[in-house]
Amino acid sequence: MVEIKNLSKDKLGMVVAIVGLPGGIEPRHEQLQELIKMEKVSSYEIRGREVIFYFRGMKESQEIQLKVDIIARIPGKFKAPASRVYLYYTDEHKKWVDGTTCDIVAK
């Protein structure tokens, strides 16, 4: 689950959320496309182990929750790179969150 909240009382311009994924897993591209069709995100891209979500803006105190389906591909213990969120034109003001860990067990 990806959760983003506008902590200010102001509307925000374009917001970027970069979500780090642990190794051994990958997102379902079809489901990411569904998020665009449902207008939960404006667009996305994948770079290595990160999914980058773009939002055209956020209302004051708005909260966004995204369920991102993943597929486990490689067994092992992995840690994701840190995730972060920021306004598109002020990337020097990022809010960072430690990466999560996961254990993938082969059947």
Local confidence pLDDT in tens for the 107 residues of the chain: 999 999 999 999 999 999 999 999 999 999 999 999 999 999 999 999 999 999 999 999 999 999 999 999 999 999 999 999 999 999 899 999 999 999 999 88
Q: Which of 36, 30, 16 is nearest to 92 (CA)?
A: 16
Tell me what pLDDT residue 82 has. Answer: 97
Tell me what pLDDT residue 91 has. Answer: 84
Tell me what pLDDT residue 98 has. Answer: 96
Which fold is adopted by the domain 2-104? Immunoglobulin-like (2.60.40)
Per domain, the residue ranges of the chain are 2-104
Supply the pTM of this predicted model. 0.93
d(CA 41, CA 13): 14
Instruction: For residue 53, give both structure tokens.
Output: 């979500």
Q: Is 76 left (phi over 0), alpha (psi -120 to 50) or beta?
A: left
